[in-house]
Each structure stands twice: as C-alpha cells, then as structure tokens.
Amino acid sequence: MFKDDFPLLLNTGITYLDSAASAQKPAYVLDTLDHFYRNEYANVHRGQCDIAVRATALYEDARAAIASFIGAKPQNIIFTKGATESINLVANGYEHLLKSGDEILISIAEHHANFVPWQQIAIRTGATLKVFNVLPDGQWDMDDFRAKLSDKTRIVAVTQLSNVLGIVNPVTDVIQTAHQVGAKVLIDGAQAITHLPVSVSDLDCDYYVFSGHKLYGPTGIGVLYGKTEALEILPPYQFGGDMIKTVSVLKTEFADIPARFEAGTPPFPEAIGLAAATRYVSKIGMPKIGDHERKLTKYLMDNIAQFNGLKLLGTSAQKHGLVSFNIDGIHPTDIAFVLAKEGICVRVGHHCAMPLHHFFETEVSLRVSLGLYNDEGDIDRFVRALHKALKLLGA
C-alpha cells in the first residue's frame, strides 16, 4: 500500500519492518524539505528579508497544520527535538511542583523515555513513583491502576500504544479517572500517532507528545501539546533566543507560550517537513491507514502462529502495527542477522522497555513493526526468511 511513494523502498528493494523505530519518508516530504532548503531557507522570526519572512510564515503555518492534525490550537503546540525531549520538558517542570508525599503514576509498559524522567524527578523531589502492571495478555491491569491512583497522585504518564506489545491502551478511561482525583495526565503518543486518528480535545489529556520521524516526517522534530493551564504551570525548560521578551542585568522577562518553551533556533525546517507529513497521511486518511494496518497485523499474527516455540510478548489479539516475540532456544539477534542477509529489516533488543521485558521474564525480543507502505507480500517474505533462519540455526 503506497510503497511507490517511498524512494528508499523502491531504490533498495528491502523489506522494511522496523517502522516503530523510525518510519521511511515519502517523496512528498523529501521534496518539501528539498524545495525549502533550495528556495526559502532563512532563520525564522525578526528577519526582514523576503526569505526570512517567508520562512517564518511557513514555520508558523506548520504549527497550525500540526495543531489541526491533532485537534488543538496553534498556541498550544510546542516544537521540540522529539517525544523524549517533550516528556523531559514536562517532567523537569514538575520538579518545581512536586514534594515529598506527592505521587507519580506510570505503567510497567512505558518506553524508557516515559519511565526514567519520572523516576529521576521522583528521586529529586522525594515524590513516590508508582507503577501499575499489565495482565499476562499485555492489556493494562485497570484494577491495579485504580488501586494505585490516589488523591496524592499529581501526574499520570502513560503510553497510548505500547512500542513492545502493540496494544492500544484505554487512555480515555485513565484520563477521566485521573482527573477525578485532580491529577494531570501526559500521553506518550509516539507510536499511536502513526496508526490512529488523534484528537487531544476528545481525549481531554493535559499533555500529549509525539515525534516526527515515526510519522513519516524528519528526525530532530517533536511535538508537545499542552492545555493552556497545564503549560502555564511549567517554568521554562531552556533559556535563550525567542523564549525571552526582555533582559536586563537584574532580571529577565520570558515570552508567552509557545515561544517560552522554544529556546534558541527552533527546528523550523523539520517542522515544515513534519507538516508535510501530516498532509500526506491526512490525504490518505488515518482511518484508512489504521484499517489497513490492523488487517496486516492480523495477517502477520496468523502467519507466525505456525512456528513451534514462538512466544508472543502479550497474547492479546488486539495488536496494532507491531508484534514482539521470541522463539525457544534461538537468540533473536541470531534470527535478525539471517533476516538482514535476506533484506529484511526488523528490530532486536529490549526496545527501550526493560521493566516490561522483565515482567515477561525475558531480556530481549524480536519486533516486527508495520507502516502504511507494507503489504502482505512483505509478511510473506518475512515468513519465508524466518523459516530459513530457523533452519540454518538448527531450530
């Protein structure tokens, strides 16, 4: 589906099944970036020459386009270098808001980028980090979530779609329940934004973060959405550039949101490229993309069920876009090495989710993740290569 739009896939002939790590880029995004660098590049804000004015307009247009893509207002969109920086921006802001006795609640299934920042902030502030579990099938243990949520909980930080399990989590229920005790909620949408339509206004989350490179856009660009009141309680994260309104020897007055959180020269070409990516996927339609990927995920799961000794991380059938597994007696790195020789790109490791792997009593797994450009032919090639790998490895 839409493979012809992606030059790397056409030029190399590889079977790319690692989109959860980073997605390939369509020609439309590449052409947008190329045109900007060749014809319109100048630093944004304050410049008076034509290209500087044009670049500034394109940058702010990108903010508006990305806001529209997730159902937000432009002034609530902060550009960062990725989802990781977006989470760290919020977490570091909470260092000034938390104290001993306060609680932070996350899930065991979090990416390290949404686990370690809160762990470190808890250590610095004396707050308590609580972690709720998943069930054996990979679904969130909502009873455990409710048991660990309390009137001491100040923020809940959870992923919308697990980068290991591929399960779409019930974040709406979590947001509603957390708000009942006065807690703010941050949603890590780094995986979900690629597969699902997202409306932050419908979710009613306080913060939502994602990266550009997984949404068929450039690297080095991320988004932090925040409700106005949720952003206003955060102090500036970095200093310099357009985040400053006035400076004297004695004090500095900071700019209004969103500029307050965009210190230095912002990633403006990358923002323009990300806006192009949102236009590309919007033209196809996120519901259409999601439907295609759900069917392809089922096709993948049906086809790997034939392998003896294969153990899924999370047995839930409600997977979307990715599957992680191990095969008894064979290290996944050895499998991936043979697959690579066959032109198949997959991912091996803990996928930046060590606590979740420990929960499933393993250190690593092999992950197959899908993008809109994949098709059943890619799955068929993967399955044939996996048969070859297991034969060579003596399974």
| Gap between the Cα atoms of 310 and 331, Å rounded | 12
Nearest partner of 298 among 191, 365, 379, judged by Cα: 379
Which distant-in-sequence residues (6+ apart) come within 8 Å of 98 by Cβ? 104, 121, 122, 125, 126, 127, 154
- For strands 322-327 and 365-369, give the pairing: antiparallel
Q: Does residue 64 register a pLDDT over 80?
A: yes
Delimiting residues of CATH 3.90.1150.10 domain(s) in the chain = 285-392
* Region of residue 351 (left: phi > 0; alpha: psi -120 to 50; beta: else): left
Contact 210, 67 (CB under 8 A): no
What does the block give as tokens for 131? 């972690």
Helix spans in the chain (H): 7-12, 27-39, 50-69, 83-94, 116-125, 142-148, 171-180, 192-195, 200-203, 228-232, 268-284, 286-304, 332-341, 354-359, 376-392
CB atoms within 10 A of CB 60: 15
Q: How confident is the model at residue 45 (pLDDT cuts 50, 70, 90)?
A: confident
Q: Per-residue pLDDT averaged across 108-130, rounded?
A: 98
- The residue from 49, 205, 345, 352 that is catalytic is 352
| Gap between the Cα atoms of 328 and 60, Å rounded | 52
Delimiting residues of CATH 3.40.640.10 domain(s) in the chain = 28-283
**Which contacts (CB < 8 Å, 24+ apart) does range 239-242 have?**
239/263, 240/264, 241/265, 241/266, 242/45, 242/266
Catalytic annotation present for 352: yes
DSSP 220-241: S-EEEEE-HHHHHTSPPSS-SG
- Would you tell me which CATH number, out of the four given (3.20.20.140, 3.90.1150.10, 3.40.50.1110, 3.40.50.720), belongs to the domain 285-392? 3.90.1150.10
Q: Does residue 324 register a pLDDT over 70?
A: yes
pLDDT at res. 394: 79
pLDDT at res. 125: 97
Class (C level, CATH) for 28-283: alpha beta
Mean pLDDT value across the chain = 96
- Phi and psi angles of residue 88, each rounded to the nearest 5 degrees, phi first: -65, -35
Q: Per-residue pLDDT averaged across 292-313, rounded?
A: 95
Q: What is the pLDDT of residues 219-229, one digit of tens each?
A: 999 999 999 99
Q: Work out the angle at residue 177's Cα, subtended by the Cα atoms of residues 164 and 132, and round it to the nearest 5 degrees.
A: 40
Is 113 or 45 the better-scoring residue by pLDDT? 113
Q: What is the pLDDT of residues 257-283, one digit of tens each?
A: 999 999 999 999 999 999 999 999 999
pLDDT at res. 260: 94
Q: What is the pLDDT of residues 368-383, one digit of tens each?
A: 999 999 999 999 999 9
Which residues sit opposite 153 in a β-bridge?
A: 103
pLDDT at res. 395: 63
- For strands 15-16 and 344-345, give the pairing: parallel
Q: Per-residue pLDDT averaged across 10-38, rounded?
A: 97
The single-letter DSSP state of residue 42 is -
Q: Per-residue pLDDT averaged across 211-225, rounded?
A: 98
C-alpha 123: how far from its chain's center? Answer: 25
